[in-house]
Amino acid sequence: MKLTLEKLNELCKLGLFERYAIGGGIAHFYYIEAGTTYDLDVLVIMKTDQTSLISLTPLYDWARNEGYEVIEEHIVIEGVPVQFLPVFNDLITEAVEHAQEVKLFGVQTFIIKAEYLMAIMLDTYRAKDKERLLRFTSESSYSSELFESILIKFNLVKKYKIFKNQYEQK
């Protein structure tokens, strides 16, 4: 994983994307007890002008030119399947922009803050997101003030109340 994280920093310096942050299962495991995940999800803000579609072609071209294996949507970087996910809404963009800088495996990197992960889980609301959100509310240390401000800003207050009524123990 160390070599993979170093390569992500290199890709950012090369200008293949403006900013990145780790999301998905690996980010969750930073805050709550580990489970299983297959890959490393990397949320990226791509360098584009406002009139063009977001394309990951430069990343896949880089991978092929550098001899990295591409398997479906994953680029296997130093043995780790990495899925690059361009930001696609304001919540995720803000989550990447406000990512926490941390040291993982001795490498400076960026990870989505717990409060944003929780809001993204609530917004996405798949079965695994509901389960993880429940674990986050009971197992992780997070700022309830920041979480509440994110819920308000992205119109998720009502959805969170429904979640709490349905899933949290009374």
Write down the pTM of the prediction.
Answer: 0.92
Give the integer Cα–Cα distance in Å for 28 and 30. Answer: 5
pLDDT tens-digit map of 89-111: 999 999 999 999 999 999 999 99
Closest CA to 116 of 124, 127, 108: 124
Q: At what angle do helices 114-124 and 144-153 cross, to 10 degrees?
A: 40
Task: Please tell me the predicted confidence (pLDDT) of residue 49.
Answer: 60
Instruction: Report the 10 Å Cβ neighbour count for 46.
Output: 19
pLDDT tens-digit map of 39-59: 999 999 998 765 567 889 999
Average pLDDT over residues 56-78: 95
Mean pLDDT of the chain: 93
Judged against a pLDDT cut of 60, whether residue 62 lies above it is answered with yes
Closest CA to 76 of 105, 112, 40: 40
Domain 2-112 matching CATH 3.30.460: the answer reads yes
Task: Please tell me the predicted confidence (pLDDT) of residue 98.
Answer: 98
Domain ranges of the chain: 2-112, 116-167
